Structure 1
């Protein structure tokens, strides 16, 4: 048995009964940093959704942090997601709550009850992403890059084994995108496994790492050309 934290064998990814990707084989080991690239509509987000239980795996085998995706029941999905940190393109912060309240919402929803422990954890993750002084602010008071830093902090709250970042720089300018990627690289250097879907090829050239491409219904590794 491999020690992979994410593995798919001969998996077919469906979106509303339409095959998006077929014969997908994927193995991600602890500490890996993996890019998933491809044009819009080629299956990057569908693959991510399958990994965090939003799309069922009905064909092939898949395991994510010890959960069997093919046998995943509705009641298991919240527990799977506690072991994952998911970062979205549009941040998905609750607009009517402060950053502190956004963090508390997630901790309470995932079973935390000790107020001191919750506060310590919030302080820890906000410090980690350079946003410690922003806890009292509302999301609309932050720039896009700051909101994404907060979203990354939120993804770290339950000390996930894997972070799934779906186009995390999609709404950001190039300078801010680079800062967010540097943050993700720093988190990866501390031992976190990261899978990042992106179509920002400039970032790949600047921060090269193992890269898989979605194209024509298939997922395959691409070797980046060095300039």
Structure 2
């Protein structure tokens, strides 16, 4: 298995000028990930996660009920008490107002399943990307009417989901899709593989969530293990 640096997948045709890093209260990467020349925005309890690895956020947004009281006085905060919306939703609305979108979102996983689904639900409308450290993965929303190109090593794992529906065609995957209808719930393409170093995904309609693992998979080795177990 080959591990890829997290910046590798950021360099593809869907790359935008990301204007901030948004940190939720889930699993976050090591401090080296945050060494970028863009603001680091913590969503409420995400501030605790950052401070625990020695990273001070430029701003903390939310109702602030999860931020360590002993640390809050030394942080730049924006208090948003509206309980009709979750802190992530309020934070992204604020960042849109101050033109700090699109973002690289991390900490999106690691909590309860309903919390993760809600995070993804909010993420989908922001035009941002997400990064998860375990497993290392980058997630994109691919819009209709565009062919998206990715430069990937052979045997990179990729999953494609219709959110809630999409019709797509691909080139460069082990299991190609042609005018395939994806839906959630319904049929999707999970754990597909890149055949070479170029993959394209054309979205004919709807929105497709693409999740690209930052590691390659040796299918031959995996099959060998299965045979041994039998």
Asked if TM exceeds 0.5, the reply is no
Structure with the higher fraction of residues in helix conformation:
1
Higher Rg of the two aligned structures? 2
Q: TM-score range by the shorter chain?
A: 0.3 to 0.5
Instruction: Give me the TM-score of the superposition, normalised by structure 1.
Output: 0.34
Q: Which has the higher strand share?
A: 2
What is the TM-score when the length of structure 2 is the normalising length? Answer: 0.34
